[in-house]
Amino acid sequence: MIWAANGFNWARVREIPPDALKQALAMGYLRWSRSLARYAKGADVVDVGCGMGLHGVGFLAEGANSYVGVDPEVKPRSSIMKDLHNGKRIDCGWTPEALMARMSRFEMIRGLSNDLEGKREFDLATLHNASEHLVQLEAVFASVHRLLRPGGRMVFSHHNWFSWNGHHQAPKTIDKIQPQNPEHTRYFDWAHLEGEFPADSYVMTKLNRFRLSEVRALTEKQFEIEAWKPTLSTPDQGAGRLTDAVRKRHPDLSESDFTTQSVWVVARKKA
Ligand SMILES: C[S@@+](CC[C@H](N)C(=O)[O-])C[C@H]1O[C@@H](n2cnc3c(N)ncnc32)[C@H](O)[C@@H]1O
């Protein structure tokens, strides 16, 4: 009953194995779905770039009609999933296959969103910490557009490459800076914007490095933006460390390019 008191959809929660719900809570997977609850209720949800995680448990708890996560990294028989609190992979005791066997409205599919086109339709598409990783962002947005029913929404949070820790490498917070460590000096205090990185490195292959204005323009090609909510970096994420020397090295970047940690976007499918 505690779950009903928390505002979850009791009918849906009863379909979720209690231990899977506990794991989802413990690993931080009930927060994103909670922030999208008003869009998720009664919706068929597709989670593009779902990773190995339990966001789907949260969406069902919020009353989604169904959940499909799609990602090339889905491993149907692995129970090693990411703990969102610290990014560590842990054995949560549940594989995608086991979850699918217990919940008829829950699917995790190894593949790309394109694989679902023409077969499935959705009311809500979500990308959690995924859009900054999609090198073919425009193509993925176009695919999402095709997957959505008329009036359907796409909601995503985008981590800004131009923020202090937009590189996704150590140090991610200022307390972790090792000033003598060359693996840190190439990234922190916006050094990553000037760094020369091998073509096969993480920052070159796993991050698209779009300006927020570009993300907005790509979104607006096929969606009406209903909400665009930037979150500024906090002091532990580098706020207050921007200097005139950095500004001078990047005259093309605005203050908000440097200081916006992420942006939350709600966008409605254009006809
Ligand atoms: C940082 S992870 C985020 C995973 C998950 N959404 C989360 O909240 O932890 C980004 C994911 O995007 C996936 N990805 C990259 N390109 C993709 C594509 N074209 N279609 C679907 N997923 C993709 C990657 O495999 C990766 O699992």
Percent of the chain past pLDDT 70, that is, above it, reads 98
Instruction: Tell which atom from ligand 1 comes closest to the C-alpha of 32.
Output: 8
Q: Is residue 13 very low, low, confident or very high in pLDDT (cuts 50, 70, 90)?
A: confident
DSSP at 125: E
> What does the pLDDT look like over 18-41, one tens digit per residue?
999 999 999 999 999 999 999 999
Ligand 1 centroid – CA 168 distance (Å): 14
Query: Are 93 and 23 spatial neighbours (Cβ–Cβ below 8 Å)?
Result: yes
Q: Which residues line ligand 1 (CB under 6 A)?
A: 48-51, 53, 70-73, 82, 112-113, 128-130, 133-134, 140
Pocket test for ligand 1, best of 127, 133, 141, 205 (most atoms within 8 A of CB): 133
**pLDDT for the residue numbered 196:** 85
* Mean pLDDT on 71-80: 98
Q: Which pLDDT does position 10 carry in this prediction? A: 81
Which is the closest atom of ligand 1 to the Cα of 139?
19
**Nearest CA residue ID for atom 14, ligand 1:** 49
Nearest CA owner, ligand 1 atom 9: 51
Which ligand 1 atom sits closest to the C-alpha of 48?
21
Range of the domain at 19: 2-269
Distance CA 134, CA 140 (A): 8
**2 HSE (CA, 13 A, CB side):** 4
List pLDDT tens digits, range 203-255.
Answer: 999 999 999 999 999 999 999 999 999 999 999 999 999 999 999 999 999 99
| 3-state per-residue secondary structure call for 74-113 | CCCCCCEEECCCCCCEEECCCCHHHHHHHCCCEEEEECCH
Residue 139 pLDDT exceeds 60: yes
How many separate domains does the chain show? 1
For residue 3, what pLDDT is reported? 56
pLDDT at site 134: 95
Whether residue 64 has pLDDT greater than 90: yes
CA 94, CA 83: separation in Å to the nearest integer? Answer: 13
Q: Whose CA is nearest to atom 19 of ligand 1?
A: 112
How far, in Å, CA of 196 to CA of 186, rounded?
9
- Identify the band that residue 1 occupies on the pLDDT scale cut at 50, 70 and 90: very low
How much is the pLDDT for 4?
54
CATH number at residue 222: 3.40.50.150
pLDDT value at residue 5: 55
Ligand 1 atom with least separation from CA of 84 = 9
Amino acid at 251: P
Cβ–Cβ under 8 Å, residues 201 and 271: no
Measured distance CA(222)–CA(228) in Å, rounded: 15
End-to-end CA distance of the chain: 42
155-206 pLDDT per residue, tens: 999 999 999 999 999 999 999 999 999 999 999 999 999 978 999 999 999 9
When the pLDDT of each residue in the chain is averaged and rounded to a whole number, the result is 95
pTM for the structure as a whole: 0.94
Strand partners, 124: 45, 153
Identify the residue whose C-alpha is closest to ligand 1 atom 15.
134
Task: Report how far ligand 1's centroid is from the alpha carbon of 132 (Å).
Answer: 9
